[in-house]
Structure 1
Amino acid sequence: MAGRIKETSIQEVREKARLDDIVSQYVTLRRAGPGTYKGLCPFHDEKSPSFNVNPSRGFYKCFGCGEGGDVIDFVMKLDGLSFFEAVERLGDKVGVQVQREEGDEAPVRRGPGRGKLVEAHKVAAEFYAEQLLTPDAVVARQFLAEKGFDRDAALHFGVGFSPRGGEDLYRHLRARGFSDEEVVTAGLVAQGRSHYDRFRGRLMWPIRESGGDVIGFGARRLFDDDRIEAKYLNTSETPIYKKSHVLYGIDLARKEMARTREAVIVEGYTDVMACHLAGVTTAVATCGTAFGDDHAKVLRRFISDDQQLRGAVVFTFDGDAAGQAAALKAFKGDGNFTSQTYVAVEPDGLDPNDLRIKKGDEAVRELLANRVPLYEFVLRNVASKYDLDRADGRIDALREAAPLVASVRDESKKMGFTRDLARFLGVDPDEAAREVRRAAGRPAPSAAPSRREPVVSPEVPAAPRRPPMPHPREPRFAVERETLKLFVQHPVALGRTTGEITPEAFTHPLYRALWETIAGLGGPGAGTGDPAWAQKLSAAASDPLVSRILAELAVEPIPSAKEPDSAYVLQYVVRLLELLDQRRIADVKSRLQRADAGADPEGYNRLFAQLAALEQHRRGLRNLVAE
């Protein structure tokens, strides 16, 4: 039985699946130096980018949360796949036919793997799109026409139609080789007394991940005799579909989001279509749920929402009570973004799709251009409920609005919102500030730290404390770190110079261990011109801490304006060896001071000769750089 994936297939996937191309499907990357890129980490929430990618070495590393590895590790961790599934998925993307060893047992899987679920959705999306052209889908085509969408628009967004029969998709998937367990787990088919299509007689929108894989569907009711009265149905939670993380249209919007650092949040599938067709190609929508914190995390990665590169997030809401409630919820989550947040509301209460139908594409673009700050929209809505010509009306409005301003976590924003609130209501700024402070309350005093010594059992002696390992980023290790970084990213043979490097040249234990790994593979020269050099080092490193350091060094920018050459590398190697000579010279001098020339003249002279040889060697190193 076919089992383990052949090493040749794994290596081919690593070579052909460019790390930056794969990562860019989830994160907007910006150049951070020669051959390196940086973005917001997809594995944890952060305000400033600490996620580094080095495509030429095939490694990524987040210096915030510590995650790191190669392209296979990235796909495994982000999508929750096994090693086998990640290799197969990448192989599909880059056209590598993954081969397995013969005679080994296949890996045991619990339920269908992600690859099969994604493939089932791909087949279903193609099936629904074909069904939109059939006579039975005339009502669906009429609905699209009434909404202002022609056949080209349907093709662009992949819109389709689910037949009314009840088992059409089920039979189609079974004929394509999918099992009952796979189609049910995917959420495409339901199981009662028999299997039946989850969606029947509805207009279908494929919901895609940022990379383009279909992972779910949104379905719109078309027929009055549909037994499910809900106007819209969405795929239920599955192993690959989590509604709190899904944004419809992200696959089409992500590149323009990265370019403009702007995102537009609308309320429905047709609104996304209308915006994109009108030229607002950064529009996305949630799928059957309100916009939440997890949606914000997804957006931030694409708009490079960090403290240095501030963008814009624009919400479109109806002007009715529901829209105001949605705006209030978005305002409470405003702290999720460092970018400026805005609201675009059409005066007549039209959503982007209806606005496009009635007034054209230009009106949609103008709607977004006339946006107002989110906080201003929310606070003015509060103010509009009260008679501000009366003193008691102004006080009541201030009391309702103050807790909203107090909830803002960014103190500088809070101060600005307080001043504007005073202006909106016509009250004294100091009075508004006092009310906001009152709404915020006073933090409880923190308990004084306990100064009691830890209790040690007299029966079990306390284990001796090991001195903490020095941090590898300490300045005293800078030359060691930069030299090893070059050996990992730009390995080159430097003749006798690299031959003089010994483990003693590295004073940090992790750097010493990494050098021993490099030396074990033949030294830096063995990696010259080898695109898989960093991966080979990773495979040879047995200590997880060494692997972690290796991942960091493989992605850290090189402090050089151009691609480092052998002369550049030589400078660091020479500096490393000079520092080693300095330590050896200091040691010999110390021993000379303690030596007694009269009692042991031979030993004293031997030390003096060592000192002279070391000084001469150090001068020779300097001459190498000067040549």
Structure 2
Amino acid sequence: MPGRIVDEDVVTVRERARIDEIVGSYVHLRNAGGGSMKGLCPFHDEKTPSFQVTPSRGLFYCFGCGEGGDVITFVQKVDNLSFAEAVERLADKVGVVLRFTEGTGPRVEPGLRMRLLEAHKLAAEFFADHITAPDALVARQFLDQRGFDRQAAENFGVGYAPRGGRDLANHLKAKGFRHEELVKGGLIREQGYDFFRGRLLWPIRDSGRSVVGFGARRIHEDDRIPAKYINTPETPLYKKSQVLYGLDLARTQIGKKSQAVIVEGYTDVMACHLAGVDTAVASCGTAFGDDHAKLLRRLMGDHDAFHGEVIFTFDGDAAGQAAAMKVFSGDQNFTSQTYVAVEPSGLDPCDLRLQHGDARVRELVARRVPLYRFVMGNVIAEFDLDRADGRVGALRAAAPLVASVRDQSMVLGYARDLAGMLGMDTEEVRQEVMRAAARSSRRPERETAAPGQRNDEPAQPEAAEPTGIALPDRRERSLSVERETAKLLVQAPAHFAKGYDNLTPEDFSHPAYRAVFEAVLAATGDAGQDWISSIRDHLEHPEIGALLASLGVEPLTTNQEVGRHYVQAHTAKLRLIRVTREIADLKSRLQRTNPVDEATRYNQMFSQLLGLESRRAELTKLGLGPAE
């Protein structure tokens, strides 16, 4: 077994690593009063901050998902590390050299991350020094032709990799770094040659402003590597799907302004920042992905006014439209509003600044349009809106886009916009959007049907007419456990324990399912009558009869034989969902209660919370996973 980290060193790391600084490099934190700070939880999706950091105690806790602990626990969870790996990473950051007890097995070399960070820092300085070398003339000309002077190059740390082949390797080895370390860090190749040769380089830093890799552009015609851009390979420091170029420069402003501008290249980031768009970043050698979105979401936090902006810059050509569609498909990643900034001339921010000045770059961002509107405009542009059939075709093509908007409260407004773009009646457009939502199995807008309105969408076949109790959508995922349990009550009552496994009407959140269960309780003990008929006789709302019929004939969601274990699992899971819901509600109330001014009430609620947590643990022991 490998040796353990000496306990004293763990304590030292915990004391020196300020939790607000460490968490703040992942999450945008704001003062919350009372010595606490708040931000969006990095462990679950949320719109309102429930993640709290208390620097004086060195602790964090999320009232939303229940994650909590100290600075070491945070790094473990956020970076998916073991305890020892998290301690080592923090030790690297705060300059603690760890000691280990004697062990018998191999382990990762202690201090490797710190060594690699130092090597990358020295490499960045080495490349920056060589930007003025005679061999770097072509690199300087490249920068000059794009409007970047020497001061700009120095501000962004732009450098040049000599063409010699082993220049960086020899320089770093002279500083005491070993061949194996430099290979692991992606600075040299296994054969001993420099990874970057004869290229213009940009240092890529993490949100903590440490250099973790480099992006390099081809500038010599005889470069043996044909790719225009190459980046540092995957290393213990550099994960391309988790880094953004310019984040070290933009991080503070992204948090303050709750805005991020996504551009395509290194020179575009430079141009934006020099023009005054100080929230610009770019992905490094890969497409903008989910991990990038999560990183930005944590840094942006939540903004009271407009929930922030993520602005993508695209060309107005076919490639730009395709890129916009790709972003639209992943738009659920953002709690912010997503926009597109398109330059009609097709110029990227770098060329736009070069040809028209800084003001035009700022105007490009200021002219942003909502992503959904840009995408809809591209879709309906394919149709002849002067013809009735063209307008109908455009509506059918664009309606699914509106239906897929993540914020359902905004769908109606977007439908009005679409109606205006098409010159059609708003109600007609809204109906088509709802049909599109039903076809895609997404939840439609919950509105009362207008008099005489048809309601034959396939997603809600049971709701033939408006009733006193709204009937549930059978494909509503959040109600799947309630529906399955209700079907079991109707189809397999013999497999329930006495008292229906301690179920109560309050376990059913939807009033229609609750009404069915209340009828089941009332029908229990009836003799000489068909079970379903007996339930129907006890329904207080006759309109629920259609739901009861559906529950009686709809197949159960299992191919296995239904027995006692299956029934017990579903009843326990339904009770678990209710307990989890009550815990969430109680945590929310605790969060809003002052433990000093309302000590008695706070303590009562805390005791109640402990009881609920105990009940949840008991239900979980039945072998259930997280509630669906």
TM-score (structure 2 length as normaliser): 0.69
**Given the alignment of the two structures, is residue 336 of structure 1 paired with residue 333 of structure 2, yes or no?**
yes
Please tell me whether the aligned partners of residues 128 and 160 of structure 2 are also in contact (alpha carbons under 8 angstroms). yes
Tell me: CA distance 1:76–1:135, structure 2 relative to 1, closer, same or farther (3 Å): farther
SS of equivalent to 2:123: helix
Matched AA of 1:128: F
Unpaired stretches in structure 1, ≥5 consecutive residues: 458-463, 491-505, 512-544, 546-627
**2:377 partner SS:** helix
Describe the shift of the 1:12–1:223 C-alpha distance in structure 2 as closer, same or farther (beyond 3 A). same
Tell me the CA shift for residue 427 of structure 1: 2.0
Asked whether the equivalents of residues 53 and 60 of structure 1 are also in contact (C-alpha less than 8 Å), the reply is: yes
Residue 403 of structure 2: which of 403, 406, 426 is its match?
406
Specify the code of the residue in structure 1 equivalent to 2:158.
V
3-state SS of 2:132 partner: coil
- The 2-side partners of 1:482 and 1:106 are apart by 52
Task: Give the aligned partner of residue 528 of structure 1.
Answer: none
Aligned amino acid, residue 335 of structure 1: Q
Q: Structure 1's 409 and 508: CA in aligned 2 closer, same or farther, altered over 3 A?
A: closer
Within 1, Cα distance between the matches of 2:90 and 2:236? 19
Contact 1:185 1:238 in 2 (8 A): yes
Which residue in the other structure is 1:600 paired with?
none
Paired letter, 1:405:
V
Local SS of the residue matching 1:328: helix
Q: Name the structure 1 match of 2:14.
A: 14
Q: Which region of structure 1 is more displaced relative to structure 2, 169-178 or 256-265? A: 169-178
Any idea what SS the aligned residue of 1:218 has? strand
1:5–1:98: 8 Å Cα contact kept in structure 2? no
How far has the Cα of 1:37 moved from its partner?
0.9
Range with bigger deviation, 273-282 or 233-242 = 233-242
Q: Does 1:32 align with 2:32?
A: yes
Partner of 1:495: none
Report if the CA contact (8 A) 2:39-2:302 is conserved: no
On the 8 A contact 2:315/2:344 being kept in 1, the answer is no
Q: 1:119 aligns to what?
A: 118
Equivalent position SS for 2:406: coil
Counterparts of 1:344-355 in structure 2, within 5 Å, are 344-355=341-352
**TM-superposed deviation, 1:201:** 1.4
User: What corresponds to 2:624 in structure 1?
Assistant: none
8 Å contact kept, 1:243–1:287: yes
Matched residues in 1 for 2:361 and 2:406: separation?
33
Following the alignment from structure 2 to structure 1, what is the Cα–Cα distance between the partners of residues 422 and 8? Answer: 70
Cα shift readout 1:268-303 (whole Å, capped 9, x = no counterpart): 111111111111111111112222222221111111
- Structure 2: distance between partners of 1:97 and 1:111: 15
Q: Give 1:109's aligned residue.
A: 107
Structure 2 unpaired stretches of 5+: 442-458, 460-473, 476-482, 497-562, 566-571, 600-605, 612-616, 618-628
Letter of the 2:30 partner, please give it.
R
Equivalence map 1:76-87=2 (5 Å): 76-87=76-87
Pair 1:420-2:417 in alignment: yes
The secondary structure found in structure 2 opposite 1:427 is: coil
Indicate yes or no: 2:147 matched with 1:164: no
Which is bigger in relative contact order (C-alpha 8 A, separation at least 6)? Answer: 1
Identity of aligned pairs, percent?
60
Indicate the SS of the match to 2:244. Answer: coil
Code of the residue aligned with 1:118 in structure 2: it is L
Question: Within 5 A, what are the aligned runs for 1:89-104?
Answer: 89-94=89-94, 96-98=95-97, 100=99, 104=102
The amino acid across from 1:98 in the alignment is V
**Paired residue type of 1:412:** S
Give deviations 1:10-62, integer Å, cap 9, x for gaps: 44433333211221111111122311111112233322222110001111112
Per the TM alignment, residue 172 of structure 1 is displaced from its structure 2 partner at its CA by 3.1
- Number of residue pairs aligned between Structure 1 and Structure 2: 486
Q: Which moved more, 1:312-321 or 1:122-131?
A: 122-131
Q: Please, which of 351, 364, 367 is the counterpart of residue 367 of structure 1?
A: 364
In 1, the alpha carbon distance for the partners of 2:300 and 2:116 equals 29
Distance 2:267 2:585 in 1: 55
After TM superposition, the structure 1 stretch with the greater mean CA deviation from structure 2, 62-71 or 263-272, is 62-71
Preserved contact between residue 218 and residue 233 of structure 1 (Cα < 8 Å): yes
Matched-pair contact (CA < 8 Å) for 1:47–1:306: no
Q: Describe the superposition over 1:130-187 as per-residue Cα deviations: whole angstroms up to 9, x where unpaired.
A: 2222221111111111111122222221211122223323333333333443333323
Amino acid at match of 1:123: L
Name the structure 1 match of 2:377.
Answer: 380
Q: Does the C-alpha gap of structure 1 residues 129 and 3 become closer, same or farther in structure 2, counting only changes over 3 Å?
A: farther
In 1, Cα distance between the equivalents of 2:417 and 2:593? 50
Alpha carbons 2:13, 2:96 under 8 Å: kept: no
Q: Which amino acid in 2 is paired with 1:197? A: D
Q: Which has the larger radius of gyration?
A: 1
SS of residue in 2 equivalent to 1:189: coil
The answer on whether the counterparts of 1:332 and 1:404 sit within 8 Å (CA) in structure 2 is: no
Alpha-carbon distance, 1:322 to partner: 1.0
**CA RMSD, aligned part only?**
3.8
Q: Return the alpha-carbon distance in structure 2 between the equivalents of residues 399 and 140 of structure 1.
A: 52
Shift in Å at residue 374 of structure 1? 1.8
Q: In the TM superposition, what are the counterparts of 1:485-504 in structure 2 within 5 Å? A: none
